[in-house]
Amino acid sequence: MGDLTVRHERRAFPRVRVRIDSLVHTPEGQVRGQTLDLSAGGAFVTTARTVAVGTTVRLTMHRGDAKNPLVLDAEVVRLGGTREGRFPGLGLRFVGLTELEATLLQAMLSSAA
């Protein structure tokens, strides 16, 4: 019998590929970026500047001209870099979502899927 390798997905929430203009508000100021993947638990945002893992940030995702942006608190949980073949940016985990924020986030995910 040959080797059978099973790779388990560690993510608690399914990801959706998106392209959303975003701002990451850090303790050092704001950084423009683009959210490339999104889930109910977090996001990956491309940025030109990195922020230390463990830093609390606020992510503002633009939802179009007719809607207010969605602003969520998050923690930086990983850094993406070109050495790993990834876009440079920040892996974020959302923290302290209110019921309204979770509902608005779910609506964004549903419309992007």
Task: Give pLDDT tens digits for 1-55.
Answer: 444 444 444 556 678 999 999 999 999 999 999 999 999 999 999 998 888 999 9
Tell me: the pLDDT tens digits for 80-99? 865 555 678 999 999 999 99
Strand partners, 92: 43, 76
3-state percent breakdown (helix, strand, coil) of the chain, nearest 5: 15, 45, 40
Q: In this structure, are residues 83 and 58 in contact, taking their beta carbons and an 8 Å threshold?
A: no
Q: What is the mean pLDDT of the chain?
A: 85
